[in-house]
Amino acid sequence: MIMKLFNSDFFKPLIAQSQDSARRRSNTNLHQGPNDAVQRLFIAMEPDSYVRPHKHKEANKWEFFFVVKGSLLFITYTPEGIVTDKVILTAGGENQGLEIPPNVWHSTVALESETVFFEVKEGPYIATDDKGFAAWSPAEGDASVAGYINKLKTVEIGESACL
């Protein structure tokens, strides 16, 4: 078979990996490697997984997100940490996906267990240059992360997401 099929059997191991992972998320790349011009991946994420607010600094680093299972909160910020938008993306719902341009501060929070989304972005992927993390947010692994995730769920547009 030349085509790739993405059904519930495809997602089961990805979800299990996310639940067993210390970071509480896991991804399966569809592209061949980090140098590919287009990066395509499925990401499974649990509600206690922390995606630190960040931006992609390179001028060509747009991102596309589409939820295929569960629900994902997508948040954008000013450089100072003020929330500019909050969108809930839900599989089969009114809002299922979005695309953001480069240099937009953003983060995601899974709102349901076993949330899976599809991400597409321009490559190549260079880990050291990929993200600029927000200094106003806790670092991954910090003791305040669980409380910060809860804050992100309740903070309103126009309010500060700073620690």
What CATH number does residue 63 fall under?
2.60.120.10
What are 121-150's pLDDT values in tens digits?
988 887 655 568 999 999 999 999 999 999
- E-assigned strand segments in the chain: 25-29, 38-45, 54-55, 63-69, 71-77, 83-90, 97-100, 105-110, 115-122, 132-133
Whether 4 is covered by a domain: the verdict is: no
Confidence (pLDDT) at 125:
80
Residue 157 lies in a domain: no
- Nearest-CA neighbor of 118 among 103, 98, 132? 98
Q: Which residues pair with 87 in a beta bridge?
A: 74
The number of distinct structural domains making up the chain is 1
Question: Residue 2 domain-assigned?
Answer: no
The mean pLDDT of 24-39, rounded to a whole number, is 93
Residue 144 lies in a domain: no
In a domain, 132, yes or no: yes
Compute the CA torsion angle 29, 31, 36, 42 (nearest 10 deg): -40
CB of 117 closer than 8 Å to CB of 49: no
Give start and end residues of each alpha helix (H) in 8-96.
Answer: 8-20
In a domain? residue 161: no
107 strand-pairing partners = 75
Question: Residue 69 sits in which domain range?
Answer: 26-137
